[in-house]
């Protein structure tokens, strides 16, 4: 979710503080909709709100409907057309349509369901929030029920038109080992693709703030840093130092974790030597086969920015590829 706040958690907090609250969710879009499916807006009984379901085009109407839903405790499914003029005002080329589900917390949206969703998000567990658009009780389901939706981070209405599946994946992360020139391009590129980025380099001269303004930089040895960051199935790790003293401990730690991508800078010859060292450390063929090396897709690039593009392309390919 790209909202400023964890909106389900904020809605739960409002409810526990005695505020009536409803959650509005974009469940379907057509054309140039201002906000993607899954975007949320929470509204309290006084009309206070956080989040967004459009660029401001329909929020007023949604708040009115939400207040009515809070009064009678029933959900609502609303459809809005976004005119070309409204779309242009929020930065789109043309209009579109959006469908929005409004659910009052504690009635149409039972409190245990919200608590289960918030707890799963807090623990970094991928779960699906499934709403019955025909009025049935919502429920929380596991990733295995909708593997394609989770793989693509794609919330939406099922083909039967009845159920909306809201995908709640843990955040994407990229741990970059080595604050080198390539990393200066890769880190902002990863952020623009939705990744939380962390740079790891114990050499303070490399990880200087002026070289990486605004980046999170950890000056620990890579294996210690990676262990502390607790990488998971939504984590990509890229090693760029080209120094076995730094890269090898990071790679070994990453191979013991369930990261979805591990890419390592170095030529074919360098990687062959790396394999020998990993085998001597007890890693088998299947472990070593997880490493993408030489790192990045072969797009013929040689400049640091081009290598960063190739790495980012390979990371996205690994993330979205069918298992």
- What is the spatial distance between Cα 104 and Cα 111, in angstroms, rounded to a whole number? 10
pLDDT of residue 129: 97
Per-residue pLDDT for 323 more than 60? no
Give residue 127's region: left, alpha or beta (phi > 0; psi -120 to 50). beta
Per-residue pLDDT for 4 more than 50? no
Give which of 261, 246, 255 is closest to 283, Cα–Cα: 255
Q: What are the phi and psi torsion angles at 38 (to 5°)?
A: 100, -15
Confidence at 57, pLDDT banded by 50, 70, 90: confident
**For 247-296, how does the pLDDT look when each residue is reduced to its tens digit (9 = 90+)?**
999 999 999 999 999 999 999 999 999 999 999 999 999 999 999 999 99
HSE value, Cβ hemisphere, 13 Å, CA-based, for 46: 5
What mean pLDDT do residues 30-59 have? Answer: 86
Encode 218-242: b = buried (16+ Cβ within 10 Å), e = exposed. Answer: beebbbebbeebebbebbbbbbbbe
HSE value, Cβ hemisphere, 13 Å, CA-based, for 62: 34
57 within 8 A of 86, measured Cβ to Cβ: yes
pLDDT of residue 54: 81
The DSSP element (H or E) to which 132 belongs, if any, is: strand 127-132
39 within 8 A of 26, measured Cβ to Cβ: yes
Arithmetic mean of pLDDT over the chain: 91
249 within 8 A of 273, measured Cβ to Cβ: no
Confidence at 173, pLDDT banded by 50, 70, 90: very high
Cis peptide before 148, with omega less than 30 degrees from 0?
no
What mean pLDDT do residues 139-150 have? Answer: 94
pLDDT of residue 35: 79
Give which of 299, 277, 301, 304 is closest to 288, Cα–Cα: 277
- What is the spatial distance between Cα 200 and Cα 177, in angstroms, rounded to a whole number? 5
Confidence at 88, pLDDT banded by 50, 70, 90: low
Question: If you write DSSP's letter for every residue of 30-75 in order, what string do you get?
Answer: EES-SS-TT-EEEEETTS-EEE-SSSSSSHHHHHHHHHHHHHH---
pLDDT of residue 2: 41
The DSSP letter of residue 26 is: E
Percent of the chain with pLDDT over 90: 78
Confidence at 86, pLDDT banded by 50, 70, 90: low
- What is the spatial distance between Cα 158 and Cα 130, in angstroms, rounded to a whole number? 10
What mean pLDDT do residues 116-136 have? Answer: 94
What mean pLDDT do residues 75-79 have? Answer: 93
Give the domains, in start order, of the chain with CATH numbers: 7-122 (no CATH), 172-320 (3.40.50.720)
Q: How many residues does the chain have?
A: 323
- What is the spatial distance between Cα 305 and Cα 114, in angstroms, rounded to a whole number? 43
What mean pLDDT do residues 6-33 have? Answer: 92
pTM: 0.80
Confidence at 243, pLDDT banded by 50, 70, 90: very high
Q: Which of 70-84, 185-199, 215-229 has the lowest average pLDDT?
A: 70-84
pLDDT of residue 240: 97
Per-residue pLDDT for 3 more than 50? no
Task: List, edge to edge, every strand of the sheet that includes 216-218.
Answer: 216-218, 195-200, 172-177, 235-239, 261-264, 291-292
């Amino acid at each position: 979710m790209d909202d400023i706040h964890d909106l389900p958690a904020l809605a739960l907090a409002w409810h526990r503080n005695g505020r009536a609250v409803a959650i509005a969710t974009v469940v379907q879009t057509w054309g140039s909709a201002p906000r993607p499916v899954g975007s949320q807006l929470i509204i309290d009984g006084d009309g206070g709100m956080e989040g967004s379901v459009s660029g401001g085009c329909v929020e007023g109407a949604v708040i009115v409907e939400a207040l009515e839903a809070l009064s009678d405790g029933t959900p609502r499914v609303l459809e809005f057309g976004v005119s070309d003029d409204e779309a242009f005002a929020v930065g789109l080329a043309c209009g579109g349509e959006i469908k929005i589900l409004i659910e009052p917390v504690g009635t149409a949206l039972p409190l245990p369901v919200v608590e289960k969703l918030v707890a799963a998000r807090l623990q970094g567990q991928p779960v699906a929030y499934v709403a019955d658009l025909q009025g049935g009780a919502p429920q929380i389901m596991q990733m295995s029920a909708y593997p394609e939706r989770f793989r693509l981070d794609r919330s939406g209405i099922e083909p039967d038109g009845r159920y909306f599946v809201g995908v709640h994946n843990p955040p994407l992360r990229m741990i970059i080992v080595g604050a080198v020139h390539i990393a200066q391009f890769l880190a902002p590129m990863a952020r623009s693709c939705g990744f939380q980025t962390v740079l790891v380099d114990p050499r303070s001269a490399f990880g200087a703030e002026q070289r990486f303004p605004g980046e999170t930089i950890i000056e620990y040895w890579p294996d210690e840093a990676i262990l502390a960051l607790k990488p998971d199935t939504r984590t990509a790790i890229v090693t760029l130092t080209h120094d076995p003293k730094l890269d090898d401990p990071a790679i070994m730690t990453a191979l013991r974790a369930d990261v979805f991508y591990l890419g390592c800078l170095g030529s074919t010859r360098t990687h062959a030597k790396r394999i020998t060292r990993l085998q001597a450390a007890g890693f088998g063929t299947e472990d070593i086969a997880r490493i993408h090396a030489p790192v990045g897709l072969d797009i013929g690039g040689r400049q640091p920015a081009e290598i960063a593009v190739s790495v980012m392309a390979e990371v996205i390919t690994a993330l979205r590829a069918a298992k």
